[in-house]
A and B are shown apart, each in its own frame.
Chain A
Amino acid sequence: MQSEKPTREDVYQFVVRVLQEQFELDADSVNEDVDLREDLDIDSIDAVNILIELKALTNKKVAIENFHQIRTVRDLVDAVCKVINED
């Protein structure tokens, strides 16, 4: 099956849905600029869960080096897009 690569908007929507479903976050509280740790209380164990969920979107293991450098939702979406577009 030929599947198109997800767009940046797809990735963003997916991340928002993961945050809502996995951590009971309110959709209104999420935008590109919110800080994952400070504003959304995402810790390093949550981050691993996010990466596991992202496999469903990217169809490959999302290993993000230097995860602690990712601060905002935008950083995360950018990092995931980079992984998708690598090959």
Chain B
Amino acid sequence: MKSLPRAWRVPATGFSFLVFGCGALVLGLVLGAWLFIRRPAPDSRVRLVRSAIRSMCKVYIGMLKGMGLLTYHYEGFDTLQSNGKLIVANHPTLLDAVFLMALIPNAAFIVKAAMANHPFTGGIARLAGYIPNNEDGIDLLENAVNALQRGDALVIFPAGTRTTGRGVKFKRGAANIAVASRCPIVPLRIRCQPATLGKNDKWYHVPPRKPHFEFYVLPEFAVQDVIDSNRPTGVQARHLNQYLETCLEPDELPGNSSAGA
């Protein structure tokens, strides 16, 4: 795979960040104004905002690919067309959510409070009905269960923040949501080689070669398929959380040819 030189990819990456921030802000403002004038019903409003986000993310990813900043591959997303499922993904890079926003229709995301309150992204996140992950887990649980019952595809990154490597500990929010709602769970594995845009990477730390992103939707399952659902809910959440941690370990990826060797 031919890779454009870093001398190009560094400024191109900077430009992409700028486009993303401005894009989110402008999309939020334009949609906000349009919705204010037209006042569609709340249900169709959220759907409309999500499909606008989806289109913009598709364009954005197309732009990144077009500028030679990345390549990608995805599998199994046709099974996500029917909703009310909890999609649980690992979270290696900053672009994971953007890809999933482009790939999954009518998706609600559980977003960090920092993102929900950010001046650039907060407006659009609220319009799309994304659920802020605040400190009090009870609100989160209620909002998430309601979203699933409404038929949203709910996406959560249970690691809580960007992480790579093995042995990542998940927060139990995702497991608690699944136990409380009894919804189907869909694990989604994300891999990015070489690693880029991680938690401690600055935007200008572009990898030595163009990164390749992979997204695999794994078979869905029910809570009772993998754990004893007659135990107290606290025990169930712990067991399910362990299961999810194992299920999304990076080494288990299909077609992984001992990456990093």
Question: A: which residues have CB within 8 A of B?
Answer: 21-24, 43-46, 48-49, 68
The answer for the CA separation of A21 and B238 in the assembled complex, in Å, is 13
List which B208-244 residues lie within 8 A (CB) of chain A. Answer: 232-235, 237-238
A and B contact pairs by CB, cutoff 8 A, 23 listed = A21-B232, A22-B232, A22-B233, A22-B235, A23-B234, A23-B235, A23-B238, A24-B235, A24-B238, A43-B171, A43-B172, A43-B176, A44-B135, A44-B136, A44-B137, A45-B138, A45-B141, A45-B172, A45-B237, A46-B237, A48-B138, A49-B234, A68-B135
The answer for the CA separation of A68 and B136 in the assembled complex, in Å, is 9
Known contacts A22-B234, A23-B232, A23-B238; 4 further A-B pairs (Cβ under 8 A)? A22-B232, A22-B233, A45-B138, A46-B234
The answer for the CA separation of A72 and B88 in the assembled complex, in Å, is 32
Q: Output the least CB separation between B171 and chain A (Å).
A: 8
| Inter-chain contacts of B238 with A (CB < 8 A) | 23-24
Nearest residue (CB) in A for B176 is: A45
The prevalent SS among residues of A at the interface is helix
Question: B: which residues have CB within 8 A of A?
Answer: 135-138, 141, 171-173, 176, 232-235, 237-238
| Inter-chain contacts of B136 with A (CB < 8 A) | 44
Q: Contact at A45–B232, with CB atoms within 8 Å?
A: no
Nearest residue (CB) in A for B136 is: A44
**Given A23-B238, A24-B238, A44-B137, residue A49 in contact with residue B172 (CB < 8 A):** no
| Inter-chain contacts of B232 with A (CB < 8 A) | 21-23, 49
The answer for the CA separation of A43 and B137 in the assembled complex, in Å, is 8
Find the residue from B136, B176, B234, B237 having the highest chain A CB count within 10 A: B234
| Inter-chain contacts of A45 with B (CB < 8 A) | 137-138, 141, 172-173, 176, 237
Q: Contact at B233–A49, with CB atoms within 8 Å?
A: yes
| Inter-chain contacts of B138 with A (CB < 8 A) | 44-45, 48
| Inter-chain contacts of A49 with B (CB < 8 A) | 232-234
The answer for the CA separation of A62 and B141 in the assembled complex, in Å, is 20
Nearest residue (CB) in A for B233 is: A49
Nearest 8 pairs of A and B residues by beta carbon = A44-B137, A22-B234, A23-B234, A22-B232, A45-B137, A45-B176, A46-B234, A24-B235
| Inter-chain contacts of B237 with A (CB < 8 A) | 45-46
Q: Output the least CB separation between B243 and chain A (Å).
A: 15
The answer for the CA separation of A7 and B172 in the assembled complex, in Å, is 33
Q: Output the least CB separation between A31 and chain B (Å).
A: 20
